[in-house]
Amino acid sequence: MPAPGGSLTVVGTGIEVTSHLSPGARAVIEGADVVLYLLADPVSALRVEGLNATARSLDSHYGPEKDRRLTYRAIVEEIVSEVLGGANVCVVLYGHPGLYAVPGHESIRRVREQGLAARMLPAVSSLDCLYADLGIDPGPHGLQAYEATYFFELRPPVDPRATLVLLQVGMLGERGGAATPAVADRFPLLVELLRRHYGDGREGVLYEASPYPGVRPSIVRFRLDERELPTPAVLATLCLTAP
């Protein structure tokens, strides 16, 4: 006899929802009994709500000073509860649902442990946009990608010949649900760490993919030895391209 309960599908909107949302993801959203979402902008939220009247945000679990681990735990509990209650649930996440998205992976793991169906559909990620907008091909020299706080605190080995991508640099060192002014103080320390690895003349790029059609991405270039450094925006990615 099949286990009681529903199913879970985790999808992503891509970065620019009007053109990146795949037909497969759209069909799952439209056909779900319950749609739960975590998205980066109101346009994406309106798009998802327009596809399924049950859609509701999971943003209420976040708090400016609430530890993100507790936030993720609460989000997973809500998702799994809906599935165990018998609903066919679609969780919609910003970008690629498997890229630095703890709740999606953990929810799938928990649902499968109960003997129920759970899957993830691929989507356009911020890395895909970065390759296109910065003209980067990771093939010739390789690519190393880390979450910025992980890199800053644990300092894993790097290959200076490869492109380095540090995601979520706008939340550098933060444990809560919102960035604080301390990020601006930590960023020069991160740049100094990189300068010791890559040298004074290496160029860094603070990059933000555009979530809106017709709007150019944010690309801020600087040298690692500059005295006046830019401050990363909340959604910024730091990239050091191969020499």
Has 131 been annotated as catalytic? no
Catalytic residue among 72, 131, 146, 198: 72
Q: Is residue 168 a contact partner of residue 149, using CB atoms and an 8 Å limit?
A: yes
Which of 42, 34, 166 is CA-nearest to residue 100?
166
56 is catalytic: no
DSSP-assigned states of every residue in the chain? -PPSS-EEEEEE-BSSHHHHS-HHHHHHHHH-SEEEEE-SSHHHHHHHHHH-TT-EE-GGG--TTS-HHHHHHHHHHHHHHHHHTT-EEEEEESB-TTSS-HHHHHHHHHHHHTT--EEE-----HHHHHHHHHT--STTT-EEEEEHHHHHHH-----TTSEEEEETGGGTT--SSS--THHHHHHHHHHHHHHHHH-TT-EEEEEE--SSTT-PPEEEEEETT-SSPPPPPTT-EEEE---
Catalytic member of 37, 47, 62, 94: 94
146 catalytic per annotation? no
The active-site residue out of 26, 56, 68, 73 is 68
* Token pair recorded at residue 83: 């599935």
Catalytic residues: 68, 72, 94
